Amino acid sequence: MSDFLVDTNSLEVWIEFQSFCHNLRVTRIVLYSMRLINVKALLEREKLMEKGERVDRRAKVLQFCDDDVTKYAILSHRWTEQEVDYDEIVELAKMDEEIRDEIRQRDGYRKILDSCKQAEKDRYEWLWVDTCCIDKRSSAELTEAINSMYRWYENAQICYAYLHDVHDPCLPIVWNNKRYANGWPEWFSRGWTLQEMIAPSNVQFFNTEWRTIGDKRTLAGTLEEITGVPEHILTDGLSGDRPCVAQIMSWAANRTTTRVEDRAYSLMGLLGVNMPMLYGEGKKAFHRLQLEIIRTSNDQSIFAWSCDGEGVRTGNILADDPSVFRCCSAMELMDPDEFIKSLPSCLIPDGELPSTEDDRLGTFPITNRGIQIWLFLSPMDGADSVFEAWLPCRSRPSGPPEAISLCLRESNYYRCAELFSRPEGTLQFRQVYLRYQDTSHRNATFEIDDSAVTKDGFVCFNTLPRNFTGNTFILTSTVPLCVKAYSNDLTGDYFAVGFGQVFGKDWIHVESDPWDSPLEAFTEIEYNNMLARAPEHARSMDKARSGARVCVMQTHLHRFTLRTCVVWKSSRENGVKLEVFRDPSFDSVSGEWMGFDVDVG
């Protein structure tokens, strides 16, 4: 420090430096504090207002306290449109009487007041309520509060869970969508209340009249039925036998938040990570959350989303939303020895499995190319770029390892839909890069002209997705494929045409091979197979499309040849014409796309 004084030779600089250090110290104190309601001060102020007596405008109802040493109560509730914010609760005594009375009549203010009365009854001097104890005008304070939220609930002596739509003296035990919009009280459907239920050791539930209806421990069985959170987590918390990432995500699958980003931010504490808030980033918040988890954990269950095959899209390896973990409620990690022994023995080459001491199984760093990871892979039958990848986790006790489908594109692997086929060849232990960056996408319009095939006796008997009616539709990032199935009862011919988009490329594919199953099943099977093989179909069509304005493919049917002609009206609009004709020279039908550089006017 003396060197600093000699070099600067300036008392003013030293004072500035001291002031800077002082500000740093103050900032540090604030960062490790929480703003709490002084229960006695707020209730006394309200009592004076009720009597119409003079109120001390300098009296502070909010103060900073250290949550590690202060004994305080905390409120968990469902926000409404009549909440009271930080500025209103602080400045209430200074406001005009008309404005003050309007605020005091709000449901949000009555909720704060009733919480204070309950805290006073329970002999707590301090109370935290999220609506008014955070100055949300400060993005720095909001970020700090959200990152500290789990700890604040965990450190609370007691949590008051206020269920505004429960009128009975007990929790409902049967799902009832006539009384509650989601079948259960609204508090159980919100994203933030999940951690508010799990983090505190003591949670007391109150109905709309602020009458107690039980505590978390005695209601654990009912709460498990309502929320899907195991009873032992509700009674013992997360500090003991911690569930895997996928199972924790499953608890939030049916919950909603007002802001899409909060679906990610509300899970940070439960998953033990911190990150800055970037409202406006949309689903990228959930992607960032998963990357933060991967940086601090080797839990591969994070890749097991949609393990039941529902809702899988071709794209990056990260899930877009907690809802796709709905199938993971019983997910658990597997011991390395057990995992390797549980792999399909028919696919394992002799002497080529890694040792359980090989740390490659538990290491997957994030790089600019993708997530670098060692996986057990096996190519899928009939798909040269689709693989089955086994993960060291299972969706039920004593079950087999979970497997997900990956597609290979330009040396990177992407998540894709499950194929209705089996792995073939030997199991390979390979280092791969799982792409976590978003893939390019644009909406694409398809206009279908099937008048020629319907004239020849074919009818469109099924379309997936079912809400796609008519012959003009738009594909988006969430609906990247439409399959239309046609049949001719007189000739026994039937075929399915898939219109899709993947990695920013439009594609069309036709399948006519009959299956020993009803026509309805044929459409669904082809939909899933086309979805999984979308990169292959796009690559095939893109190759023919290079330099061409029109692409044509002919496909064998039972008694007909189907000709599919595609004309690109623009970069986002495709015209497709289907026609059939009887052609005895089947040998000349290649089943491949051919491009023609012709002017279609």
Task: Look at residue 525 and give its three-state secondary structure.
Answer: helix
Digit-coded pLDDT (tens) for 132-174: 999 999 999 999 999 999 999 999 999 999 999 999 999 999 9
Q: Distance of CA 203 to CAs 166, 171, 214, 336, 523, Å?
A: 16, 14, 9, 38, 50
- Inter-axis angle of helices 97-104 and 39-51, to 10 degrees? 120
Average pLDDT for 353-362: 69
**Does the structure show a pLDDT above 80 at 391?**
yes
What's the confidence (pLDDT) of residue 357? 63
Q: At residue 406, what are phi and psi to the nearest 5 degrees? A: -125, 145
Residue 328: name the closest of 391, 378, 275, 407 by CA: 391
Fold of the domain spanning 444-596:
Mutm (Fpg) Protein; Chain: A, domain 2 (2.60.270)
Say what percent of the chain tops pLDDT 70: 89
What torsion do the CA atoms of 538, 419, 329, 291 make, to the nearest 10 degrees? -30
For the segment 439-453, the average pLDDT, to the nearest whole number, is 88
User: Which among 312, 257, 294, 265 is positioned nearest to 527, based on CA atoms?
Assistant: 312
Q: Which of 470, 552, 482, 554 is nearest to 512 (CA)?
A: 554
Please give, one letter per residue, the 3-state secondary structure of 61-108: CEEEECCCCCCEEEEECCCCCCCCCHHHHHHHHHCCHHHHHHHHCCHH
Given a cut of 60, whether residue 588 has pLDDT beyond it is no
Inter-residue contact 377 to 401 (CB < 8 Å): no
User: pLDDT value at position 1?
Assistant: 38
The pLDDT confidence band at residue 584, using thresholds 50, 70 and 90, is: low
What was the pLDDT predicted at 195?
A: 97
Express each pLDDT in 174-200 by its tens digit: 999 889 988 999 999 999 999 999 999
- Residue 456 pLDDT more than 70? yes
Average pLDDT, the chain: 87
What is the model's pLDDT at position 594? 87
- Per-residue pLDDT for 375 more than 50? yes
Sign of the alpha-carbon torsion through 25, 27, 32, 34: positive
First to last CA, the chain: 82
pLDDT of residue 157: 98
pLDDT for 342 beyond 60: yes
pLDDT at 556: 79
Strands 459-464 and 444-449: unpaired
Look at residue 420 in the predicted model and tell me its pLDDT: 66
CA dist 348 → 377, 420, 425, 426 (Å): 11, 21, 9, 6
The Cα 555–Cα 270 span in angstroms is 54
For residue 483, the model assigns a pLDDT of 94
Reduced to 3 states (helix: H, G, I; strand: E, B; else coil), residue 334 is: coil
Residue 143 and residue 281: Cα distance in Å, rounded? 15
Residue ranges with strand state E in 296-397:
332-333, 371-380, 383-391, 393-394
Give the per-residue pLDDT at 252. Answer: 98
Assign residue 119 a region (left: φ > 0; alpha: ψ between -120 and 50; beta: otherwise): alpha
If you ran DSSP here, which 8-state letter would residue 347 be given?
G
The predicted-structure confidence for 81-127, as pLDDT tens digits, reads as follows: 899 999 999 999 999 999 999 999 999 999 999 999 999 999 999 99
Parse the chain into domains and list their residue ranges: 2-31, 34-219, 327-434, 444-596
CA atoms of 210 and 505, how far apart (whole Å): 58
Looking at the predicted structure, is the pLDDT value of residue 3 above 50? no
Q: What span, in angstroms and rounded, lies between the C-alpha atoms of 71 and 124?
A: 7
Residues near 242 by beta carbon (within 8 Å), at least 6 away in sequence? none
- Summarize the confidence of residues 478-501 as an average pLDDT: 89
Rounded (10°) CA dihedral 524, 530, 531, 532: 110
| Closest C-alpha to 473, from 600, 574, 579, 578 | 574
Residue 348's identity, in one-letter code, is I
Cα–Cα distance list, 6 to 16, 17, 18, 378 (Å): 15, 14, 16, 70
What pLDDT, in 10s, does the model give residues 222-275? 999 999 999 999 999 998 789 999 999 999 999 999 999 999 999 999 999 999
- Select from 486, 476, 487, 450 the least CA-distant residue to 578: 450
Indicate if the alpha-carbon torsion angle 13, 18, 22, 28 is positive or negative. positive
* pLDDT tens-digit series, residues 499-525: 998 888 889 999 886 555 677 688 888
Residue 593: its pLDDT value, please?
87
Which tens digit of pLDDT belongs to each residue from 267-295?
999 999 999 999 999 999 999 999 999 99
- Cα torsion angle, 111, 112, 117, 123, sign: positive
| CA–CA gap between residue 597 and residue 589 (Å, rounded) | 20
Q: What is the DSSP letter of 188?
A: G
Residue 428 parent element (H or E): strand 428-434
Q: Determine the pLDDT at residue 439.
A: 77
